[in-house]
């Protein structure tokens, strides 16, 4: 059964927030949708697109009397926003977020929200290198995977509502503990963004290479075009898992470098075979 919310507030009306507003409207999942943010131009764009019905520059005002609050801000802003709106949220309100890191956010929510906790961490794995409300679309979440927090202190009804929300907009929900989430995403999303940026810099500093760029380089560096501040915040809020993963990656790169230095054909073939097998084991074709 699809959920229905009387009033929903989306804090942050960029690509993810505006797309969620459009998805809720298209599916009739909310009666009224409020948008909150710190840039009037972004709010006006979301309003003009029909992603929200009313806009606020003050998040505290925007959450008064609502049923659902979705924090669609960059990861580093979720905790400050939770602190800002905590006293104004109705006791029955359900809260979730869309941040790409979970452990610090969910731990903070556990500290400031009474048990059983009605803030449930989410991470819909949707989006693109494009950003801003103007790129929002109602079908952004269709066919995506949304990772939803599991924890013993969560309010069961609130969690069920968050799960139903993401399923209703087209996502497949996967249950995950915040620590497991951050360790896995460091290796499958966050570190790949670091690598894409480093590869783009490596090529650009070699001079004019455009005539030599092929599909492989384009595919590997596409995500380097994403918003720098988003990935800055992800690195900071998931630094322990990323540092651990980068250390593992450096060891792999050193193994390649040593084999290349020694012209060790057997080791190089073995390393490439290991990578080939690992790709097949981790990615559905």
- The tens digit of pLDDT for each residue in 112-151 reads 998 899 999 999 998 766 677 778 889 999 999 999 999 9
Give the DSSP letter of residue 252: H
Tens of pLDDT, residues 42-97: 899 999 989 999 999 999 999 999 999 999 998 899 999 999 999 999 999 999 99
Domain boundaries along the sequence of the chain: 5-176, 181-282
Contacts of 22 (CB under 8 A, 6+ apart): 49, 50, 51, 136, 137, 138
Domains 5-176 and 181-282 share a fold: no
181-282 — its CATH code? 1.10.3660.10
Question: Cα separation of 35 and 18, whole Å?
Answer: 9
Average pLDDT, the chain: 92
- Give the pLDDT of residue 104: 94
What architecture does CATH give domain 5-176? 3-Layer(aba) Sandwich (3.40)
When pLDDT is cut at 50, 70 and 90, the band that residue 210 belongs to is confident
DSSP code per residue over 5-19: EEEEEEE--SHHHHH
């Amino acid at each position: 059964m699809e959920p229905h919310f009387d009033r929903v507030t989306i804090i942050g009306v960029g690509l993810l927030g505006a797309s969620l507003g459009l998805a809720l409207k298209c599916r009739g999942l909310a009666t009224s949708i409020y948008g909150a943010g710190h840039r009037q131009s972004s709010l006006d764009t979301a309003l003009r697109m029909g992603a929200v019905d009313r806009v606020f520059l003050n998040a505290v005002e925007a959450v008064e009397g609502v049923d659902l609050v979705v924090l669609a801000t960059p990861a580093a802003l979720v905790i400050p926003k939770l602190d800002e709106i905590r006293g104004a949220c109705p006791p029955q309100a359900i809260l979730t977020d869309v941040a790409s890191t979970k452990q610090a956010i969910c731990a903070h929510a556990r500290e400031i929200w009474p048990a059983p906790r009605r803030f449930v961490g989410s991470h819909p794995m949707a989006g693109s290198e494009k950003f801003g409300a103007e790129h929002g679309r109602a079908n952004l979440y269709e066919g995506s995977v949304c990772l939803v927090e599991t924890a013993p202190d969560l309010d069961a009804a609130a969690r069920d509502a968050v799960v139903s929300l993401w399923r209703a907009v087209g996502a497949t929900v996967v249950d995950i503990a915040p620590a497991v989430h951050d360790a896995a995403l460091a290796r499958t999303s966050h570190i790949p963004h670091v690598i894409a940026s480093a590869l783009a810099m490596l090529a650009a500093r070699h001079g004019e290479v455009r005539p030599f760029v092929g599909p492989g380089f384009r595919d590997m560096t596409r995500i380097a075009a994403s918003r720098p501040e988003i990935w800055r915040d992800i690195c900071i809020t998931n630094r322990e898992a990323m540092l651990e993963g980068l250390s593992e990656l450096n060891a792999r790169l050193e193994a390649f470098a040593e084999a290349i230095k020694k012209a060790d054909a057997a080791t190089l073939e073995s390393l490439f075979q290991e990578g080939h097998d690992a790709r097949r084991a981790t990615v559905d074709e």
